[in-house]
Structure 1
């Protein structure tokens, strides 16, 4: 018998050297850029809340206890200055909404302007828990019989943000109108200013002692801003 010939093929089962996988340019770029699971940053969408909390010039009446109350609409003037020392934080933290019964309302210190009257409407948390307000309050001037004087205020085009109120902390919204002596608007003398917190139906009553307000004619619009931290003075 002759000598067995060697097989022309390598022996199976012998471990071979595994070829390294190539690193693609896209993979390297992802490492350097710290890619997110979603493939890129997410864009926050617009938010909308009822009863005076949207950022646009839409009208949503907040109502009153009897179902007939003020409704805020769109404006442009921002009176007053935020109180940076107030123990209020502005954030998206989940906190219970402030109800009318949690708050008390007052007019803050007026801020004079060129031919304008500016008043901060101040809402203070009188409850023993933290709560949140967001957007526009409702506001209306009423006479001694409770009848509304003039149209609803117009809203400023601001973007609402939650204002978290610890017990005793305050938020304010600016109420402003042209001085009737200068504008020549038709006026009336209110008995009270009704203020309805955002998303609520029951109003808070503020005695009005600041004189006549415009209710008709040229330059008679009253403007209202969003709530922001502090007392506006």
Structure 2
């Protein structure tokens, strides 16, 4: 009788152990991973939007890795586009066709007087074999035979600068204007030359001045320059 009771007790313990084992199997193994596959609909992404996308996942289900320093496929790069200059990231300058002093010659055209004004075209001509451009105002200064300045530099008159394209042999001109000293009463001097500086250049071109006295001080002594325009001003 005691043997039967002990056998029954062991049987009860075995049943209880199986039940507990089944419960643990159904609930998990304590690691938080469910035993059975879970199926959901829709597309998953993490809260930052940085999770792998379908384009990042290989056919075997592994996530594709981008090389160090490069963004994942399908995302824009933060690096600037190459411009041919390492490390600059700058956009190449448009054209790069400015006329340099060494490519130009200068001259002063015939006076075209009117209403008490003296008007001379200052002409720049492209002597090079390439097409180049000028834009804006030239610089100008009257000098004596020793190279000393006579009077203040000409003043820029109002105008809208435009880019003038000069093919080989073509010219651009700017107007050099001042009041007739005999009318204005300004003090005068007779220059030996006019120094002309092309726009955005430092080197000058020297042109002999043969048009007589120019105002250098006093009333109405200002000399004006206009913006460069196509042609020779004739």
Task: Give the TM-score category using the shorter length.
Answer: 0.5 to 0.7
Residue aligning to 1:109: 110
What is the rounded CA distance, in whole Å, between the counterparts of 2:130 and 2:96 in structure 1? 10
Residue aligning to 2:77: none
Residue aligning to 1:178: 179
What is the rounded CA distance, in whole Å, between the counterparts of 2:134 and 2:96 in structure 1? 9
1:154-202, Cα deviation, whole Å (9 max, x unpaired): 1011110100000000000000000000000000010000000000001
1:17-75, Cα deviation, whole Å (9 max, x unpaired): xxxxxxxxxxxxxxxxxxxxxxxxxxxxxxxxxxxxxxxxxxxxxxxxxxxxxxxxxxx
Residue aligning to 1:210: 211
> In the alignment, is residue 134 of structure 1 matched against residue 132 of structure 2?
no
Residue aligning to 2:227: 226
> In the alignment, is residue 121 of structure 1 matched against residue 122 of structure 2?
yes
1:107-143, Cα deviation, whole Å (9 max, x unpaired): 1122121111100000000000000000000000000
How far apart are 1:95 and its partner, in Å?
Answer: 5.3
TM score, norm. by length of structure 1: 0.59
Residue aligning to 2:194: 193
State the SS of the aligned residue for 2:125: strand
State the SS of the aligned residue for 1:149: coil
What is the rounded CA distance, in whole Å, between the counterparts of 2:110 and 2:165 in structure 1? 22
What is the rounded CA distance, in whole Å, between the counterparts of 1:151 and 1:103 in structure 2? 25
What is the rounded CA distance, in whole Å, between the counterparts of 1:217 and 1:115 in structure 2? 16
Please identify the structure whose Cα radius of gyration is greater: 2
Higher helix share: 2
Unmatched runs of 5 consecutive residues or more in structure 2? 1-93
1:68-92, Cα deviation, whole Å (9 max, x unpaired): xxxxxxxxxxxxxxxxxxxxxxxxx
Q: How many residues align?
A: 141
> RMSD of the alignment, in Å?
1.0
Q: Using CA pairs below 8 Å that are at least 6 residues apart, which structure has the higher relative contact order? A: 1
What is the rounded CA distance, in whole Å, between the counterparts of 2:186 and 2:209 in structure 1? 19
State the SS of the aligned residue for 2:106: strand
The answer to whether the 8 A contact 1:95-1:130 is kept is no
The within-5 A match list for 1:1-233 is 94=95, 96-233=97-234
What is the rounded CA distance, in whole Å, between the counterparts of 1:183 and 1:157 in structure 2? 22
